[in-house]
Structure 1
Amino acid sequence: MIISEQYLKELLHKHYEIAISSIEKIHGYEDQNFLLKDIEGKKLVVKVAADLMDPYFLEAQLKAMAHLRKKDNDIKIQHVLANLDGGAYTVFYIDGKALYLRVLSYLEGTFMGDIKDCPLSVVESLGTNLANMDLQLKDFTHPAAYRFAEWDLAQVLNCRDHLFHIKDHEKRTMADYFLLQYEMEVLPLQHKLRKAVIHNDANDYNVLVKDGQVSGVIDFGDMVESQLINNVAVACTYVMFKREDPLTAALALLKRYHEVYPLRETELSVLYFLIAARLCMSVTTSAMQRSKSDNAHHFISETDAWTLMYQWIQINPLHAQNQFNLSCGFPTVLGQEEQDQELKRERKEVVGANLSISYQKNLKINRGALQYLYDDKGDTYIDCVNNVSHVGHCHPVVVKAMQKQLAKLNTNTRYLHDSLVEYAKLITSTLPPKLKVCYFCNSGSEANDLAIRISRHFTKQKDVIVLDHAYHGTSTVAMELSPYKFDGRGGAGQKPYIHKGLNPDLYRGTYRYGDEQAGEKYAKDIADIIKHLSDNGTGVAAFICETLLGVGGQIPLPDGYLKAVYKHVRAAGGLCIADEVQVGFGRVGEHFWGFELQDVEPDIVVLGKPIGNGHPLAAVVLTEEVAAAFNNGMEYFNTYGGNPVSMETGIAVMNVIRDEELQQRALETGDFLIEGLKKLMEKHAIIGDVRGKGLFVGAELVRDRKTLEPAVPEIDQIVEQMKDRGFLISTDGPLHNVLKIKPPMLFNIENAESFLCNLDEVLAGSGS
């Protein structure tokens, strides 16, 4: 309902006896706003609210403003001009609908959001002004302020209803993650946080600046009784916009606020999550408004909010909390080195000594956020190696699915439950049609153990062929399958019924890059093993192989290798087992499963690690024929395998992979990463080979590209230096000279760019 300028002039003359010389319409979020001059040249602001659901709240706003002016006339807010009846607002009607008109004083200044490189002096001034306002409002009450308000941070979890409006998968997941953290970190403490009537919207277009100081805070339309720290969080959010180091601005505001109106440690402990919550509120509201509004003011903060959210998730919450504490004179919350030493001492007493800890300077990781990890010293790391957290650390969809089911029921497969069948159908729908029977267990080791047990039962043979340097797990049987373990230090050696095939390594193996027949030649080695067994009157139970080799050196198999091997194995009556524990679920990008790269169909597929995003879940999927033979009268029962929580977790992971198009993400980011590593190989002689598929990548480091002498311990120094720069990677391969890069699937192009840039600098600094 648009108000004409002429009608507005008539209203102002009738109700205020104001004669107008000029009227200019100005933008607003909901109200119609006008800037006018009276005949004496005095500026005024007129606001017209339509379809007001609660006129008493308008009264509450105006009374709060009057209360502040009465308490402290220096507080920089507008004052309200009374109408001829002495009222703070005027009601008039158009077509039977009430509209509410207010006349306010004009404050000189520029909106903070329009100031390029806004100086910290302005931020400090806002901290002081906001604290003064809150201090004076401490004793203000009005019934209408005790209301539901959609912009009240105490109601932020309602934003979950609007997340679907955010079409970008990465952005939607990040907002959902922060809402989950609000639920986990803020809600339990809400009852301990001071409450008051607060302005609740000191955003960058509600703050006016003149001569380097705040000249006014406007718009009490979001005023509400809520947690006091929410007011601080809102202001902190907007002063951090458009800054390379946003935390510095928040600290400047916080320090000045605390000097006037002291905050409490408990309030500071949740401030990081409240700032994130305000960002979530902003971006979800903007996304929702896009479907029904063309008001540019509804989206004025959207770009800045997303930029800050990407910055915010890279700031360790503990680091932020520590800085907040220090700026207000409270003690540090960071972990201390002596605490770590004591923890390691106690660990040695109660935990097996051969359970290793990564990195020379050990990390104590205390929180994860999608592709990021945070330690107890306040540092943030991009996780470039943890393929177990397939869809990201603490992915909100997965976490909520687990929480919901765990709060309802967790039992075993001796009772009917829908999710067992639903998940089995989900898994088998991605596999070749003949692979349609599932067994669930708790780890890849257990799954490989079961797969071998099934193959031995089906074939009535015991001998198994593996690849040299392979690793298939930690159970007794899995250890027997793993040359990486049984040939290593402390290993028990090779069992007579386990046979090692050549590692089909095209870089340093018997057959190398450029040999188009390498796949068949490596496969012939398996055929020779089978012939040797046959000549000695022995058959083969199974051939088991990772579809891309992990511990063997991050090695994609040569073209045609598995097709030829499977042919040889099946001709001898053996079963073909694809170990997808490391590489399945879309990681290779081009396909959902690694074996699809080789255009083969296994008899048994083993799934683990990423299947539950870190939850202990694994599966063995086999053909109906093999499953029927295994059903010989002996029950297979696994106490935890197939439990409802695990099944709901697995379903959630599958849904996330599909809904967020993570296989495509792995393809695009992986291609970018591999191409970038190859460019680094042109610059740095220490990189001898770059290989991989999707987000399963290896870079082999050598001292000499002709002799292929492994670059050890150089690689260990590089890993440590990358850790110090905030990138967690590891080493792999028989010679421990391969950089292992297998990040969560949310790892993005920007992460890859940063990784490559830092690796380039580290390699240049090492003279490689």
Structure 2
Amino acid sequence: MILESPAPSFEPECAETMAREYFGIDGRAEPLGSERDQNFSILSSSGARFVLKISNPAEDPRAVEFENAALQHVAAVSPAVPVPRLRPTLSGSSVARHRDDDGKLYLVRLITWLAGVPLRQVKVSGALRRQLAVTLADLGRSLRGFFHPAAAKPLLWDMQQVADLAGLLPHIGDEALRESCAGFVSHFGREIRPALARLRSQVIYNDLNPSNVLVSVGPAQRVTGIVDFGDMVHGPLVCDVAVGAAYQLGGGEDPLAGAAEFVAAYHREVPLEPEELELLPDLIAARLVMTVAITSWRAARHPGNREYILRNAAAAADGLRRLAELGPDGARDRLLAACPPVPIAPAPPASAPEDTGALVRRRDALLGPAYRLFYRNPLHAVRGEGVWLYDADGRAYLDAYNNVPLVGHSHPQVVAALAAQAATLNTHTRYLHRAVLDYAERLLSKFPASLDRVMFGCTGTEANDLALRIARATTGHCGVIATAWAYHGNSATVAQVSPSYASGEAREDWVELIPAPDTYRRPTGTDDAALCAHWLAELDAAIDRLTVRGIRPAALILDAGFTSDGMFLPPPGLLQGAADRIRDAGGLYIADEVQSGFGRFGKSLWGFELHGVEPDVVTLGKPIGNGHPLSATVIRSTLLDRFAEGTRYFNTFAGNPVSVAVGLAVLDVFEREDLLENSRSVGAYLHEQLRSTAADFDVIGDVRGLGLFAGVELVKDSRGREWATGLAAEVVNGMRERGVLISMIGPQTNVLKIRPPLPFGREHVDQLIATLRDSLQAAVS
């Protein structure tokens, strides 16, 4: 039996040799804890981290094949489930075969490192507990269609075999606990095991214990990894739930509160059947008995690993005592109350699926040619969740492009707020409604005191259109200056200052365009001060050209990240100098924060704040509503008062109760999940990994940006800096085919645009970088 065999005991130096010779990874090895195998963390010379797993020599090779096949299956059908990925050996196999000096065979694997700390090291919040249950449900769904012959292997941790543990009970030192476990083992054999045969079964993970779950560090707790698939087995699905719930028992007056919350969250995802719920308290107790009995026996056999083996034993013993105090009926009633029957909606009528080509032809016929699609092979997205989009075939795509779902696609708190308000009232701002005032106060509190009024719209276009209207009305001027490849919206007025959108339209004489401050192609030896001076001279020249035509400027409108121009972060002093010049000329400085604001840069909430400048007007778009039609124009009261003297503003759906309920929910999620800090920390890791990638590919000329806002400029070679437009298209389309979504931007469309939802994690960065490397390699070869 494998649990009778001691774990391998290789030195770190030997692990480093294995990583290098079998997998081509040079790195430093550090030991990690394990019950029956030996694991090492491998930090490679490039900064990437892996886990080297050396299987117990008593392990059946078929069991390792089973584990590998399951990991590959989950990665293929549900890539959003955070499980490790296998790295192949240099020969292309998923496992290396290593013999020690005595000829003993060890199976060696290298898997990706998942960021986070073990769940046992953190205080578990209700939100994290619910997410844990949802993750287990997702993992179970991904394993539904999977089987492997080794799934039927004998396993001591198989809950179906609890009645066979009688021989291990003498190793339990506490007499009362030993007798209690013996009584339960007998009860299980008589009453529970026969009933298990009637339950739905599949391959289950079977080991959701606090050492096998990784979570993010910080206030925005989330599950970042599920590790150690060595206890998988074919068994009743509810046993998987029971294992997870057993570790959620707590103290206090209601020891089942955490377990009930966990089970209820799972039940909402995968409804449990009545007989499963009926047996659940006994199955939770079974896991606790198994933990006490097996770890007591293992600790006696392997005293050198005693501390690691017994890490969950005391909590299991305490859980058994508390369940006994509740009694089987009390525990059952508590769990049943938490899991009301889930109504099953009738299936929609079947319709014949349309392939991509048919959909494109239908779209062209109905919507016309002015609409554009991303990618050579257009994506047919049918669902979004977090940082993932899913196509009509159920394939998941990592979304590293869309800034609009700011707090993640279909965030449940945002969806719930929308649905609740839509079911109550939706009207307009000509009636009094408290929520729009609550939202206005919350939003304005995020801005400098001078920006003390807000007007709502439905899109960024509307926000910018209103901003330009106010600028013209309050200055008495009509000229507008923007950058040469900007995008600010699509109305007749705003399209004039959106050359990247309306490049083929005639430009009105009140418009002047100036180049963006290109921090990559600046003349050799030009420092930041010289670049600022050069760009501000361009702005002066634009003001002069307007003056020659008898036009005075009403506004300068800028995106602080110059996103559509190629994603440039201007050097210090540039935006303040621009604001000073446009005001001296009689105009206003409008900060368009639709793409670069709301925590995108990580170091500040708004892009203009990075530069210590205060705009006259700030515009916000759909990210403030997580994609719901909501926008805002934030403005100085002195300007708004002057504007209101001559006109009024009304927009039927702007600031409606549903929209502001969504806006408030987005603010709540943003603050509670600390997404500004996530943008800063994960963004720093993103840029570090992008720079590391650039060092390996001469076609990457520049990596720029900040936080979760990154531009990667592709060139034919880094010395000549010639635009590589075709290469960028190949990379973007290659990444789409490999399951990661980005886009390209800039006048020559040679800048890769990376701008994901803010819950993006380090594990997502790792997948993005690996896919970028693969796509670059394929494109350049």
Relative to the length of structure 1, the TM-score reads 0.62
1:555 aligns with 2:523: no
> SS of the residue aligned with 2:565?
coil
After superposition, give the CA deviation of every residue in 1:632-652 in whole Å (9 maximum; x if it has no partner).
253311000000010010011
Whether the aligned pair in 2 keeps the contact of 1:506 and 1:512 (CA below 8 Å) is: no
Question: Counterparts of 1:667-686 in structure 2 under 5 Å?
Answer: 667-686=680-699
Partner SS, residue 430 of structure 1: coil
The answer to whether residue 124 in structure 2 is matched with residue 166 in structure 1 is: yes
Tell me the equivalent position of 2:161. 208
Query: What amino acid sits opposite 2:612 in the alignment?
Result: D
Change (3 A) 1:658 1:541: same
Is 1:421 the counterpart of 2:440? The answer is no
Residue 174 of structure 1 deviates from its aligned partner by 3.8
Q: Cα gap change, 1:122/1:501 in structure 2, threshold over 3 Å: closer, same or farther?
A: closer
Given residue 695 of structure 1, which amino acid in structure 2 is its aligned partner? L
Residue 228 of structure 2 corresponds to residue 232 of structure 1: no
Partner of 1:459: 475
CA distance in 2, matches of 1:728, 1:435: 36
Which of 579, 595, 602 is the equivalent residue of 2:608? Answer: 595
- CA distance in structure 1 between the partners assigned to 2:318 and 2:528 by the alignment: 58
Unpaired stretches in structure 2, ≥5 consecutive residues? 1-57, 68-121, 142-154, 169-183, 213-225, 238-265, 289-311, 320-348
Q: Relative to 1, partners in 2 of residues 1:468 and 1:122: Cα closer, same or farther, differing over 3 Å?
A: closer
Taking the aligned partners of 1:453 and 1:355, their CA distance within structure 2 comes to 27
Cα deviation for residue 473 of structure 1 reads 0.9
Aligned-pair distance for 1:440? Answer: 0.4
- Which letter does structure 2 place at the counterpart of 1:671? A
Structure 1 counterpart of 2:714, from 701, 719, 732: 701
How do 1:642-657 and structure 2 match up within 5 A? 642-657=655-670
- 1:359 corresponds to which of 375, 379, 394: 375
Letter in 1 for 2:485: H
Q: Is the 8 Å Cα contact of residues 334 and 377 (structure 1) preserved in structure 2? A: no
Structure 1 contact 511–521 (Cα < 8 Å) conserved: no
Match of 2:466 among 450, 453, 456: 450
1:297 pairs with 316, 323, 326, which one? 316
SS at match of 1:754: helix
Q: Is the counterpart of residue 433 in structure 1 residue 449 in structure 2? A: yes
Report the Cα offset of residue 567 of structure 1: 0.5
Match of 2:410 in 1: 394
Do the aligned residues in 2 keep the contact of 1:177 with 1:369 (CA within 8 Å)? no
Find 1:516's aligned residue among 522, 525, 529. Answer: 529
Give me the whole-angstrom Cα distance separating, in 2, the residues matched to 1:271 and 1:600.
51
**CA contact 1:470–1:551 (8 Å) conserved in 2:** yes
AA matched with 1:735: Q
- Could you tell me which residue of structure 1 aligns to residue 80 of structure 2? none
Change (3 A) 1:570 1:430: same
Cα distance change, pair 244–337 in 1 and its aligned pair in 2 (3 A): farther
Report the CA distance between 1:273 and its aligned residue: 3.4
Contact 2:522 2:531 in 1 (8 A): no
Letter in 2 for 1:546: D
Do the aligned partners of 2:558 and 2:592 also contact (CA within 8 Å) in 1?
yes
- AA aligned to 2:765 is A
CA-CA distance at 1:746 after TM superposition: 0.7
Q: CA deviation at 1:502?
A: 1.9
Q: Following the alignment from structure 2 to structure 1, what is the Cα–Cα distance between the partners of residues 272 and 490?
A: 41
Secondary structure in 2 aligned to 1:631?
A: helix
1:620-641 Cα distance to aligned partner (Å, 9 max, x none): 0100111101112533110000
* Partners of 2:137 and 2:269 within 8 A in 1: no
Cα distance, 1:419 vs. partner? 1.1
Tell me the CA shift for residue 495 of structure 1: 1.1
Q: Which residue of structure 2 aligns with residue 761 of structure 1?
A: 774
CA contact (8 A) 1:582 1:609 kept: no
- Retained in 2: the 8 A contact 1:503–1:509? no
Compute the TM-score of the two structures, normalised by the length of structure 2. 0.61
Note if contact 1:511-1:518 (Cα within 8 Å) is conserved in structure 2: no
Distance 1:371 1:601 in 2: 32
| CA–CA distance in structure 2, aligned partners of residues 234 and 358 of structure 1 | 39
Tell me, yes or no, if structure 1 residue 379 matches structure 2 residue 332: no
Which contiguous aligned blocks of 4+ residues in structure 1 show a shift greater than 4 angstroms?
114-123, 175-182, 202-205, 209-212, 215-221, 227-231, 239-254, 275-279, 333-338, 509-513
Identity value in percent = 35
Distance 1:361 1:203, change over 3 A: farther
CA distance in 1, matches of 2:230, 2:430: 53
1:486 has 2:480 as partner: no
Partner Cα separation in structure 2 for residue 218 and residue 363 of structure 1: 56
Is the alpha carbon distance of 1:375 and 1:240 closer, same or farther for their aligned partners in structure 2, counting shifts above 3 Å? Answer: farther
Q: Give the paired residue count.
A: 534
Per the alignment, do residues 632 and 406 of structure 1 end up closer, same or farther by CA in structure 2, a change over 3 Å counting?
A: same
The answer on whether the counterparts of 2:163 and 2:185 sit within 8 Å (CA) in structure 1 is: no
Q: 1:584 to 1:228 in 2, by over 3 A?
A: farther
User: CA deviation digits over 1:247-300, x for unaligned, max 9?
Assistant: 99688878xxxxxxxxxxxxxxx9993189999x99xx99xx9xxx99522899
1:565 alignment partner, SS class: helix
Q: Is the 8 A contact 1:120 1:249 kept in 2?
A: no
Equivalent residue in structure 1 for 2:595, among 569, 575, 582 = 582
Q: Verify the 8 A CA contact 2:683 2:706 in the aligned structure 1.
A: yes
Cα deviation, 1:435-492, whole Å, max 9, x if unaligned, reads: 01111010001111111011000001110011111111111111111121333xxx21
Q: CA deviation at 1:239?
A: 7.3
Deviation at 1:245, TM superposition (A): 10
Cα distance 1:352–1:482, how it changes in 2: closer, same or farther (>3 A)? same
Q: Which amino acid aligns with 1:208?
A: Q
| Alignment deviations for residues 641-683 of structure 1 (CA, whole Å, 9 cap, x no partner) | 0000100100111111111110000011111111111111111
**How far does residue 211 in structure 1 lie from its aligned partner after superposition?**
11
> Which stretch shifts more, 453-462 or 361-370?
361-370
Aligned-partner Cα distance in 1 for 2:721–2:235:
55
CA deviations on 1:498-535 (whole Å, 9 max, x unpaired) are 00122111112568864433123212211222234345
Q: Are the counterparts in 2 of residues 527 and 565 from structure 1 also a CA contact under 8 Å?
A: no
Q: CA 1:577 to 1:175, structure 2 compared with 1: closer, same or farther past 3 Å?
A: farther
Alpha-carbon distance in structure 1 between the residues aligned to 2:580 and 2:506:
29
Counterpart of 2:369 in 1: which secondary structure? coil
Q: Is the 8 A contact 1:178 1:273 kept in 2?
A: no
2:534 corresponds to 1:566: no
SS of residue paired to 1:435: coil
Given residue 412 of structure 2, which amino acid in structure 1 is its aligned partner? P
SS of structure 1 residue aligned to 2:200: helix
Aligned-pair Cα RMSD in Å: 4.5
In the alignment, the residues of structure 1 paired with residue 619 and residue 499 of structure 2 have an alpha-carbon distance, to the nearest angstrom, of 19
Query: 1:178·1:276 contact (CA, 8 Å) conserved in 2?
Result: no
Instruction: Say whether the 8 Å CA contact 2:714–2:723 is kept in structure 1.
Output: yes
Choose the corresponding residue for 2:762, options 741, 749, 754.
Answer: 749
Bigger mean CA offset, 518-527 vs 533-542:
533-542
- Paired with 1:251 and 1:545, the residues of 2 have a C-alpha distance of 59
Does the C-alpha gap of structure 1 residues 732 and 512 become closer, same or farther in structure 2, counting only changes over 3 Å?
farther
Q: Which moved more, 1:516-525 or 1:689-698?
A: 516-525
Change (3 A) 1:456 1:121: closer
Change (3 A) 1:218 1:210: closer
SS of match in other structure, 2:270 = helix
Q: 2:517·2:570 contact (CA, 8 Å) conserved in 1? A: yes
Residue 544 of structure 1 is aligned with which of 557, 564, 578? 557
Task: Give the C-alpha shift of residue 619 in structure 1.
Answer: 0.4
Does residue 427 of structure 2 align to residue 411 of structure 1? Answer: yes
Residue in 2 that maps onto 1:308: none
Gaps of 5+ in 1: 1-113, 124-163, 186-201, 255-269, 301-332
User: Within 5 A, what are the aligned runs for 1:221-370?
Assistant: 231-232=199-200, 236=204, 238=206, 273-274=269-270, 295-297=314-316, 339-370=355-386
Flag the structure with larger Rg: 1
Cα offset, 1:740, TM superposition? 0.5
Answer yes or no: is 1:477 the counterpart of 2:496. Answer: no
